[in-house]
Amino acid sequence: MQYLDNVIFLILLIAGFGLFGKSLLKIYRNIRLGREINRSDRKSERWETMARVAMGQSRMSARPVAGILHLFVYVGFVIINIELIEIIVDGIFGTHRFLATIFGHTFYNFFTATLEVLALLVIVGVVLFFIRRNFYGVKRLTMKELFGWPKNDANWILIIEFALMMAFFTMNSSDFILQQRGVLAAHGSFPISEMTLVPFLEIFSFDNIFLEIVERGAWWFHFIGILFFMNYLYYSKHLHIILAFPSTWYANLDLYGKFNNLESVTKEIKLMMDPNADPYAAPAEGAEEAPSKFGAEDVFDLNQVQLLNAYSCTECGRCTSVCPANVTGKKLSPRAILMKTRDRLEEVGRNIDKNGKFEDDGKKLLNDYISKEELWACTTCNACTQACPILLDPLSIIFEMRRFLVMEQSAAPQELNLMMTNVENNAAPWQYNQADRLNWAKD
Amino acid sequence: MDFTIKTMADYAAEGKSPEVLFWVGCAGSFDDRAKKITKAFCKILNKIGVEFAVLGQEESCTGDPAKRAGNEFVFQMMAMTNIEVLNAYEVKKIVTACPHCFNTLKNEYPSLGGNYEVIHHTQFLKELMNEGRLKIEGGSFKGKKITFHDPCYLGRANDEYEAPRMLLEKLDAELVEMKRCKTNGLCCGAGGAQMFKEPEKGKKDINVERTEEALSFEPKIIATGCPFCNTMLTDGVKHFNKNHEVEVKDIVELLAEAEDL
């Protein structure tokens, strides 16, 4: 019976990480449903971008208030996870504050004190975020597209983080009192706990056994809470804490103005313009097959980076708040484009889970999730991509879907059809004669 | 025009090649308002003796609006035709007063076989100024309030924010920045082929939103660097009945005015 704790701990640990791994594999499988895209060029630039944008948070400063609060939570989260190593070792081997033996007295004191300060900053961050999100009325955080799960999800994240930090302080405070009483060996320094919870707990003059239960309780809560939170990520927009890294690594490094040229079209046009080409020739042996589709109608037609983007979006709405179409009241919201892409991809994933492979469900990303009206409202100005703190690219999805509408369905608005006909026939978007191009010089 | 505009064909006939090809663009060729921008630019180049040519009847739409509407076929057809012409004349350097042409020629033509040095007219004028070939004195603009609207396809798409501002500073005017400027700039509403269709339903039109912001600074002039922005903001100013008080002008027009051209 002596090792019951350790066994339970180990089982929970393995189950928690196992489940999490399973979720990650599912995400990986879903992302791979998309078209392949070569984004492993310019490696050093990619590492640099990831370090600067994802680790260095370089884009968060554009909104200073949210930026600084986010920094509190981010730095706190990253460093407090070192604590997780200690929890795991202590849990498996039944030690107490294992890192103290490795770090030595002075450094361990410094370490625990730093964690306390960071934990306090995390609490400040999440409390202010909660107020800002629910009572302050920041427009991008109270828009209609967030009603329901997205809004609740955001609040749950904040509540869980708050609870985890409180458990951390409760654990430290009871530990500190027990250390003072000589029940536990003295390890660590807890300045914040000493100032806040310790005096509060002292009022009640709890006995040692009660405090030990509190300390262990908070420890277990903290541990199980972390496992829970980790597994919650899969269902949450909070996946960005992991996927921001690959998303920034695989980000588009070209200038915003450069849209890709479809190679399959280039081949066709070259053939068309080549006077020696035989239009009836059979394709050469081993020639690549023409792509089944131009543009994107469903998630399968998007590329893997676009699908990764959909999972990485944390729905902060910076993109939508700068979108000229959205700020003037049109239906388009770049954030909603990513959210809907993820919703559809998840639906496809569930379909595969159920049937073993994707069975046609009569739905598509286009029309069933994203309407033409949204797609046609985009001015391709790139304000959304410029605003995204983790370099996601909702515009590329809009663009691919427009390509599908125009090249597969001929479903452009009538005025655009006119414009395109003019370009094709008169070499200008208006119906002027190409021979009149230099008339201005004669005026 | 009181001087002759030469074409690439003219130069080729003389066995010469110009310093730079001026890509006029569809708006610059056909739109009555944009034609004034085209002429102003030509006057400046002519005055300082830059040897330039246009393609004239051999120029076609770059394909930008078709591409952004999603029609890759029409885009590439235009692009390939243009590239054949440009390569036949062995064009090295292209300047254009339209950020959409600029972006497409610069970023999307290379992978189709069209590699040129492509610059926006504000960049070219800045270059000429740095070389000492262009001198601007801004007498008539002294102290006038000017605000500059960043074209998306020059600014955000191609990271050029400084060239237009540097030219405006030479006018000795009082340059005021809108809150949404540079990387935070707001689109005029014309990009992505929106110029050619009615906007989707909303609370207001994008050009009205943008003009409202510009007018809130009570400028004398709203400066632009794009024929489409120019049209959108001109319409916006008319919407607010301010067209007798506020002018919408391309930077090159302001420079030509300062030089009394």
* Digitized pLDDT (tens) for each residue of chain B, 261 residues in all: 889 999 999 999 999 999 999 999 999 999 999 999 999 999 999 999 999 999 999 999 999 999 999 999 999 999 999 999 999 999 999 999 999 999 999 999 999 999 999 999 999 999 999 999 999 887 788 889 999 999 999 999 999 999 999 999 999 899 999 999 999 999 999 999 999 999 999 999 999 999 999 999 999 999 999 999 999 999 999 999 999 999 999 999 999 999 888
**Residue A283: is its pLDDT beyond 80?**
no
What confidence score (pLDDT) does residue A35 get?
96
**Residue B91: which of B127, B125, B66, B55 has the closest Cα?**
B55
Supply the Cα-derived Rg of chain B in whole angstroms. Answer: 18
Residues 6+ apart with CB under 8 A from B111: A261
Please answer yes or no on whether B54 and A441 come within 8 Å at the CB atom.
yes
Helix (H, G, I), strand (E, B) or coil at B196: helix
How far, in Å, CA of B79 to CA of A232, rounded? 49
**Residue A381: which of B95, B154, B38 has the closest Cα?**
B154
Sign of CA dihedral A118, A120, A123, A124: negative
Query: In angstroms, what separates the C-alpha of A347 from chain B's closest C-alpha?
Result: 27
Residues of B in contact with A259 (CB under 8 A): 67-68, 107-108
Q: Pairing mode, if any, of strands B117-120 and B93-96?
A: parallel
How far, in Å, CA of B251 to CA of B167, rounded? 8
Question: A350-384 pLDDT, tens per residue?
Answer: 999 999 999 999 999 999 999 999 999 999 999 99
A388-A393-A395-A397 Cα dihedral, nearest 10 degrees: -140
Are A249 and A49 within 8 A, CB to CB? Answer: yes
Q: Which two tokens stand for residue B126?
A: 């800045």
Q: Which strands make up the sheet holding B145-148, listed edge to edge?
A: B174-176, B145-148, B221-224, B247-250
Which residue of chain A is at minimal alpha-carbon distance from B3? A441
What confidence score (pLDDT) does residue A238 get?
96
Residue A30 one-letter amino acid? N
Chain A interface mutation, best of B73, B195, B204, B209, highest count of A Cβ atoms under 10 Å: B73
Query: In angstroms, what separates the C-alpha of A416 from chain B's closest C-alpha?
Result: 6
Question: A384-399 pLDDT, tens per residue?
Answer: 999 999 999 999 999 9
How far, in Å, CA of A283 to CA of A82, rounded? 59
Please answer yes or no on whether A429 and B196 come within 8 Å at the CB atom.
yes
**Residue A292: is its pLDDT beyond 80?**
no
Pairs of residues, one from chain A and one from chain B, whose beta carbons lie less than 8 Å apart: 216
What confidence score (pLDDT) does residue A284 get?
62
What confidence score (pLDDT) does residue A268 get?
86
Residues of A in contact with B209 (CB under 8 A): 324, 327-328
How far, in Å, CA of A280 to CA of B168, rounded? 58
Out of A257, A324, A437, closest to residue B29 by CB: A437
Calculate the alpha carbon distances from B255 to B166, B234, B260 in Å.
Answer: 12, 19, 9
Please answer yes or no on whether A403 and B185 come within 8 Å at the CB atom.
no
Q: Is A59 on the interface with B (CB under 8 A)?
A: no
What confidence score (pLDDT) does residue B31 get?
97
DSSP state of B3: S
SS (H, E, C) chain A: CCCHHHHHHHHHHHHHHHHHHHHHHHHHHHHCCCECCCCCCCHHHHHHHHHHHHHCCCCHHHCHHHHHHHHHHHHHHHHHHHHHHHHHHHHHHCCCCHHHHHHCHHHHHHHHHHHHHHHHHHHHHHHHHHHHHHHHCCHHHCCHHHCCHHHHHHHHHHHHHHHHHHHHHHHHHHHHHHHHCCCCCCCCCCHHHHHCHHHHHHHCCCCHHHHHHHHHHHHHHHHHHHHHHHHHHHHCHHHHHHHHHHHHHCCCCCCCCCCCCCHHHHHHHHHHHCCCCCCCCCCCCCCCCCCCCCCCCCHHHCEHHHHHHHHHCCCCCHHHHHCHHHHCCCCCCHHHHHHHHHHHHHHHHHHHHHHCCCCCCCCCHHHHCECHHHHHCCCCCCHHHHHCCCCCCHHHHHHHHHHHHHHHCCCCCHHHHHHHHHHHHHCCCCCCCHHHCCHHHHC
Q: Hunting for tokens 């390890």 — which residue is that? A: A187
Q: Is A366 on the interface with B (CB under 8 A)?
A: no
Are B211 and B233 within 8 A, CB to CB? Answer: yes
**Residue A434: is its pLDDT beyond 60?**
yes
What confidence score (pLDDT) does residue A289 get?
60
A421-A423-A429-A431 Cα dihedral, nearest 10 degrees: -70
Q: Hunting for tokens 């199980």 — which residue is that? A: A224
Supply the Cα-derived Rg of chain A in whole angstroms. Answer: 28
Chain A interface mutation, best of B35, B36, B61, highest count of A Cβ atoms under 10 Å: B61
**Residue A288: is its pLDDT beyond 70?**
no
Residues 182 through 211 of chain A touching chain B, CB cutoff 8 Å: none
Chain A interface mutation, best of B30, B35, B36, highest count of A Cβ atoms under 10 Å: B30
How far, in Å, CA of A27 to CA of B10, rounded? 61
Residues 6+ apart with CB under 8 A from A263: none
Are B125 and B134 within 8 A, CB to CB? Answer: yes
Out of B56, B69, B209, closest to residue A406 by CB: B69
State ipTM.
Answer: 0.95
Chain B interface mutation, best of A423, A430, A432, highest count of B Cβ atoms under 10 Å: A423
**Residue A286: is its pLDDT beyond 90?**
no
Calculate the alpha carbon distances from B152 to B63, B102, B214 in Å.
Answer: 17, 12, 16
Residue of higher predicted confidence among B143 and A443:
B143
Please answer yes or no on whether B69 and A430 come within 8 Å at the CB atom.
no
Are A436 and B30 within 8 A, CB to CB? Answer: yes
Residues of A in contact with B97 (CB under 8 A): none
Question: A238-248 pLDDT, tens per residue?
Answer: 999 999 999 99
H/E run at residue B254: helix B251-258
Range picked from A90-94, A174-178, A278-282, A291-295 for highest mean pLDDT: A174-178
Please answer yes or no on whether B191 and A268 come within 8 Å at the CB atom.
no
How far, in Å, CA of A373 to CA of A411, rounded? 12
What confidence score (pLDDT) does residue B108 get?
98
How far, in Å, CA of A442 to CA of A289, rounded? 51
How far, in Å, CA of A73 to CA of A79, rounded? 10
Question: A261-275 pLDDT, tens per residue?
Answer: 999 899 888 888 888
Residues of B in contact with A272 (CB under 8 A): 77
Q: Is A61 on the interface with B (CB under 8 A)?
A: no
What confidence score (pLDDT) does residue A441 get?
95
Which residue of chain A is at minimal alpha-carbon distance from B208? A328
Out of B60, B72, B200, closest to residue A407 by CB: B72
Query: In angstroms, what separates the C-alpha of B142 from chain A's closest C-alpha?
Result: 31
Question: A184-224 pLDDT, tens per residue?
Answer: 989 999 999 999 999 999 999 899 999 999 999 999 999 99
Helix (H, G, I), strand (E, B) or coil at B222: strand
**Residue B122: which of B223, B9, B261 has the closest Cα?**
B223
The β-bridge partners of B92 are none
Out of B73, B157, B197, closest to residue A413 by CB: B197
Residues of A in contact with B81 (CB under 8 A): 427
Are A264 and A408 within 8 A, CB to CB? Answer: no
Residues of B in contact with A428 (CB under 8 A): 26, 29-30, 60-61
Residues 374 through 403 of chain A touching chain B, CB cutoff 8 Å: 376-383, 386, 399, 402-403
What confidence score (pLDDT) does residue A279 get?
67
**Residue A285: is its pLDDT beyond 70?**
no
How far, in Å, CA of A399 to CA of A405, rounded? 10
Q: Which two tokens stand for residue A145?
A: 């597209």
Say how far residue B132 (Cα) sits from the centre of its chain: 22
How far, in Å, CA of A435 to CA of A180, rounded? 94
How far, in Å, CA of A130 to CA of A54, rounded? 23
Residue B153 one-letter amino acid? Y
Cβ-based burial of B122 (10 A; exposed 0-12, middle 13-18, buried ≥19) = buried
CB atoms within 10 A of CB B162: 12
pTM of the model: 0.94
CA angle A185, A112, A74 (to 5 degrees): 150
What confidence score (pLDDT) does residue A282 get?
67
HSE (CB half, 13 Å, CA atoms) of B126?
16
H/E run at residue B22: strand B20-23
Q: Which of A24-49 are b and which e, b meaning 16 or more Cβ less than 10 Å from the residue's Cβ?
A: eebbeebbebbbeeebeeeeeebeeb
Q: What percent of chain A has pLDDT over 70?
A: 97
How far, in Å, CA of B189 to CA of B114, rounded? 29
How far, in Å, CA of A36 to CA of A301, rounded? 10
What confidence score (pLDDT) does residue A290 get?
57
